[in-house]
Amino acid sequence: MDHPLNPAPPTPEDVLQAAHRLKGIAHRTPVLRSATADERLGAQLFFKCENLQRTGAFKFRGAFNALAQFTEDQRLRGVITFSAGNHAQAVALAARMLDMPALVLMPETAPAAKMAAARHYGAQVLTYDPETQNRQLLCERLALERGMTLVAPSEHPAVIAGQGTAALELLEEVPRLDHLLVAVGGGGLMAGSLLAVQATASPCKVYGVEPEIANDAQQSLHSGSIVRIALPGSTIADGAQAQSLGPLAFGILKHGAEGIVTASDEQLVQAMRFFAERMKIVVEPTGALAFAAAEHAGLDLRGTRVGVIISGGNVDLQRYARFLAD
């Protein structure tokens, strides 16, 4: 297994280097507007559409940035990771593009579409029972047995730096943002976004958004140390069901986040419907967290310029149809 136990935290400069590495490889996703959303909130909203990124989520940025820095020996042995879906697909595609083997460990409960996509991109997929098996320990054991390099979904400096390029592009395209809302699962996207804000010397305030029943990051910021929660219940935001932040992400959030707010499943469904009806885009529940919070979390956004990162659009179509129909 080839990964440092206590890696140095990523820096704003790492985000700028990641942007250079990803140029022409990751999509520079569009920033969409909605007059209806602006009217509802009394603010100017700018939606960064990472649901239109390669593999359908922002995760491709971090995965490619990490794998592109492998040594020749690491490339030969391959990459291993664990993921509920979007990071799995991202690692699978990045590995295929860089011509290396990939093994992804996914919970048995992962959406079928995400599991099928990871296999389609060429990864070997193994499943585990999240109720009885520790994915991190399982992954570390397999990495050791197979000599593969572990690239965790959030707790990896190059992954965090890569994720930060989504916010970097938004800040470059839309100067003078007052607020930025970002979904929080493992914390990699928010940590990277905070570094991007530093890299651009923007005064923008960054808020994280979690599902109501999986608010470990909110509890962690309140307590000043990492809080680990029981395996979250059945939130529809499957991409944000982390039990805790890792030390790397927490260290960045602790010093830079304006706060963490939450959204309910019902609010996520409302946001998904809005995206479908008004903006004609498919957004997965986790991808709807930021906009749901803009509408319902009680933040004072009136008269301000607000960045909203739509983190992904990977949702089983049957499940999606049920959300919209209910």
Query: What residues are labeled active site?
Result: 59, 311
**DSSP letter (8 states) at residue 262:** E
Provide the 8-state DSSP code for 134. Answer: -
Rounded distance, CA 76 to CA 39, Å? 53
Q: How far apart are CA 287 and CA 119, in angstroms?
A: 22
Q: What are phi and psi of 291, to 5 degrees?
A: -70, -35
Instruction: Confirm if 100 and 70 have CB atoms less than 8 A apart.
Output: yes
Residue 175, class by beta-carbon neighbours within 10 Å (0-12 exposed, 13-18 middle, 19+ buried)?
exposed
Burial string for 89-99 (b: 16+ CB within 10 Å, else e) reads bbbbbbbebee
**Lookup result for tokens 């296999």:** 119
- Residues 128 and 138 sit within 8 Å (Cβ to Cβ): yes
